[in-house]
Structure 1
Amino acid sequence: MRHYERTAVAGPGGSVPTLYEWAGGAPALERLTERFYARVLKDDLIGPLFAGMDPGHPRFVAMWLGEVFGGPDRYTAERGGYPHMLGQHLGKAITEPQRRRWISLLLDAADEAELPDDPEFRAAFVGYIEWGTRLALANSRPGARPVTDAPVPHWGWGVAPPYRP
């Protein structure tokens, strides 16, 4: 496993890359979301949720994932952070089958985009996707009253929020 190789960096955790770095940064996440949303728009089950999608949506989701995985805080700076993301899900009435299809298509896109496939990265990636989609499902229900002022979550290697590198 590549990330267990010794490096010249000394100190506790000094040689551990963020998930963002390990994934390949913004270019890798943009490849992922471009491939993912191309699949989504063709899908009968979840495609209707994205009818009329802003052409910039894949790039915005890549920015979100980048910030979540330890990259720059562009989503917060440019899009409004968690409150904006939350607003994208309110009242959508996402179903469990739609949530599962979203995950399935995203994992297929991750393979196609050649994101790292080592077990450690994929476990952390899937952990976030499971966590995030379950929140989106709950927050999308009619009458949901989610917390609106939360920060963007920061996800690490096997560590859930409020993780901060």
Structure 2
Amino acid sequence: MVSLYEFAGGEEALHALEEIFYEKALADPILRELFPVRQPTHVDHLTWFTAESFGGPGRFTRELGFEYIINVHRGLHITDEQRQRFVEVYLDALDVAELPQDEKFREAVRQHVEFGSHVAQQNSQAETDEQLHPLREVPHWTW
């Protein structure tokens, strides 16, 4: 079976998606607190994470490691409203990026983003290591 990475169009398509998402997040009044300024490496890191999750190269794990993403989210105190808006903005970016309209593909991406946003929210609110989500590696998402 073709991976989500291949079906999406590979690295180039995912990079375009993450760039569109990031621009939307920077401009969104609900997400602005989480994305106050453009970070020069953020789109690349999002791309690496999504690519690896979707069955592409393992660059995120090799170059950053999962601890990196835990640390990035710690202390952000992501609210339910921000988490839900993140998902909405991300799913909107799929259309703008012209990723495949295939229903099964879109559902897999939606589930991935929902799951990831819950993990990020939990980690953002954790005051101790025990309160962190137990996930310690990039999840490998399939159809």
Of residues 37, 43, 68, the one that matches 2:22 is 37
Residues 149 and 136 of structure 1, relative CA distance in 2, 3 Å threshold: closer
Structure 2, unmatched stretches of 5+, are none
Whichever residue aligns with residue 109 of structure 1, its letter is A
Of residues 23, 32, 41, the one that matches 1:56 is 41
Whichever residue aligns with residue 89 of structure 1, its letter is H
Q: Aligned-pair distance for 1:147?
A: 5.2
Matches of 1:62 and 1:126 in 2, distance apart? Answer: 16
**SS class of match (1:50):** coil
Of residues 86, 92, 102, the one that matches 1:118 is 102
**SS class of match (2:33):** helix
> 1:10-30: CA deviations, max 9, x gaps?
xxxxxx111000000101110
Is the 1:83–1:148 Cα contact (8 Å) retained in structure 2? Answer: no
Work out the percentage of aligned pairs sharing the same amino acid: 40
Matches of 1:48 and 1:56 in 2, distance apart? Answer: 18
Matches of 2:2 and 2:82 in 1, distance apart? Answer: 32
- Give the greater-gyration-radius structure (CA): 1
Structure 1, unmatched stretches of 5+, are 1-15, 158-165
Of residues 82, 89, 113, the one that matches 1:98 is 82
Is the 2:123–2:132 Cα contact (8 Å) retained in structure 1? Answer: yes
Residue in structure 2 matched with residue 156 of structure 1 by the alignment: 142
Alignment TM-score, normalising by the size of structure 2: 0.93
Q: Which has the higher helix share?
A: 2
Matches of 2:133 and 2:83 in 1, distance apart? Answer: 20
Q: Which one has more relative contact order, counting CA pairs under 8 Å at least 6 apart?
A: 2
Matches of 1:150 and 1:68 in 2, distance apart? Answer: 13
Matches of 2:135 and 2:21 in 1, distance apart? Answer: 28
Is the 2:18–2:43 Cα contact (8 Å) retained in structure 1? Answer: yes
- Does the alignment pair 1:75 with 2:74? no
Q: How many residues end up aligned between the 2 structures?
A: 141
